[in-house]
Structure 1
């Protein structure tokens, strides 16, 4: 406190000395820097919040946390068999000192389905569940199934493990959130489709709150002849928080990079020459929190493909 008072006196002296505007500004800047240092020493200044969530998808680091002993307790509290949990397709992260978050993939034995065309059984049905649990005993604090991520073994569209980002993000100065993404893709060599969907969840009064749900951070569309000829359009994004807030949470800034690639292999019999073409387009989007969620309009327009 004495340091802060002393710095204030220095600043007021410089300000009243009749110096020119530049000196005033330099003194004010120096004062603010010194005051910030002093407050840090006094414990009044916290580490600056990290605003960048990810610059590009290649730089995303996944959480490596998976407490199998705790998961065994969770399975018991959920009254499911531990063997029904697909460990390789489940993820977790510590939310705070008392709480862990899981995204579990479990098999459901009571859901059977068949293809309508040939009565072929689609196989096991896998469910995706979000859980906040007590880190000590695995007791369930909050749980929720995500029906959008349920799938059968032999369906045309498959879902990957939900990858939790290594670090928590902060929606404002005090509210942590968990970030994760899940990929959906078509099991086809001809139809080129895949999508990575990004979600932010937090815990509010012992309830799971999805503040951003399934925002497309990577989207691929196109077709191929199964060998060397294809055309494909890809959207890849970056995501960060703005300094601006709406309804208490930082605004989201999304950078969009669209790319189009077309490749044609040589076909001497039909007089077709090898060809390769690449086009790129960049866009920017800002998403604001409306008091319930970061509401966005899903844009499925292709920028290059018709």
Structure 2
């Protein structure tokens, strides 16, 4: 307390000096430096930790960062062709002053298609790679392929670009995490399926740590006749951190919004009238960090579809 009072007194004196136009610039600089040190000592210059990750999916903002010069160096360090990186399907964000995080989509040409009836059939295989790299020289700090996001260009289920959110989020007062989501969807007019999967990663002891992996933040299931008649159930979520911690990390609060829509187009020949129906249900879920990850139970139960 005495130290705080003394620092405050010094600041008040320097502030009164700063009002005097005849005081040299050196005194003003000294005042600003001491003010900054005092605020740090008192914890006054710390930014409040952002608890809201996203309220709804429409409000999510993607990172616009992409240092192509650094990426070119990274490709060389990885010993892959720069042309094999799908730039439009890759993302990055600065993790701290020394480190950048990349999610890269790379393509392997003329790769033998798995489980093909024709052993000679070849195709393009797309892979997803996570990287933490040094911002100065592009050296690789940590890297990892995500086998769950690998796919051939002729498969029924395709994966979108992994979109990194523009802000870092803090799991506690000192641990930043990168957030990103990837959409899986069926290339069919009859089967209505898509899923956005959300992941949180951090860098720990030069290793990539997936503290939350592929949590479904949007899920659509249903079917259609391809011409206006359909029934579809959709889950959309919001996500934020709680003030409460478990095993050192803030708990995650998930708001779930289920909606069911059914539409039938009229058919006068068969006596079918036009129909439209919409139902909504809301739920809440809390996910706690167990010391390794935010473990959650995958819930694929339909709330409306039978």
Helix, strand or coil for the counterpart of 1:303?
Answer: coil
- Specify whether residues 84 and 228 from structure 1 end up closer, same or farther in structure 2 by C-alpha distance, changes over 3 A only: same
Contact conserved, 2:111 with 2:122, CA < 8 A, in 1?
Answer: no
Contact conserved, 1:56 with 1:237, CA < 8 A, in 2?
Answer: yes
* Counterpart for residue 256 of structure 2: 256
Task: Give matches, 1:222-237, under 5 Å.
Answer: 222-237=222-237
- Specify whether residues 94 and 191 from structure 1 end up closer, same or farther in structure 2 by C-alpha distance, changes over 3 A only: same
For normalisation by structure 1, the TM-score amounts to 0.86
- Specify whether residues 217 and 173 from structure 1 end up closer, same or farther in structure 2 by C-alpha distance, changes over 3 A only: same
Alpha-carbon distance between aligned partners in 2 of 1:117 and 1:110, rounded to the nearest angstrom: 16
CA drift of 1:122 comes to 6.3
Alpha-carbon distance between aligned partners in 2 of 1:126 and 1:142, rounded to the nearest angstrom: 20
Helix, strand or coil for the counterpart of 1:123?
Answer: strand
Alpha-carbon distance between aligned partners in 1 of 2:41 and 2:196, rounded to the nearest angstrom: 44
Say how many residue pairs are matched: 274
Contact conserved, 1:184 with 1:194, CA < 8 A, in 2?
Answer: yes
* Counterpart for residue 300 of structure 2: 300
Q: Gaps (5+ residues) in structure 1?
A: 7-38
* Counterpart for residue 149 of structure 1: 149
For normalisation by structure 2, the TM-score amounts to 0.86
Contact conserved, 1:122 with 1:155, CA < 8 A, in 2?
Answer: no
Tell me whether 1:270 sits opposite 2:266 in the alignment: no
Alpha-carbon distance between aligned partners in 2 of 1:60 and 1:145, rounded to the nearest angstrom: 25
CA drift of 1:108 comes to 1.8
Alpha-carbon distance between aligned partners in 2 of 1:116 and 1:201, rounded to the nearest angstrom: 35
- Specify whether residues 154 and 249 from structure 1 end up closer, same or farther in structure 2 by C-alpha distance, changes over 3 A only: same
- Specify whether residues 119 and 263 from structure 1 end up closer, same or farther in structure 2 by C-alpha distance, changes over 3 A only: farther
Helix, strand or coil for the counterpart of 1:109?
Answer: strand
Alpha-carbon distance between aligned partners in 2 of 1:198 and 1:216, rounded to the nearest angstrom: 6
CA drift of 1:44 comes to 1.6
Helix, strand or coil for the counterpart of 1:111?
Answer: strand
Deviation per CA, 1:152-192, whole angstroms, max 9, x where unpaired? 00100000000000000000000000000000000000000
Contact conserved, 2:110 with 2:122, CA < 8 A, in 1?
Answer: no
* Counterpart for residue 184 of structure 1: 184
Q: Gaps (5+ residues) in structure 2?
A: 7-37
CA drift of 1:111 comes to 3.0
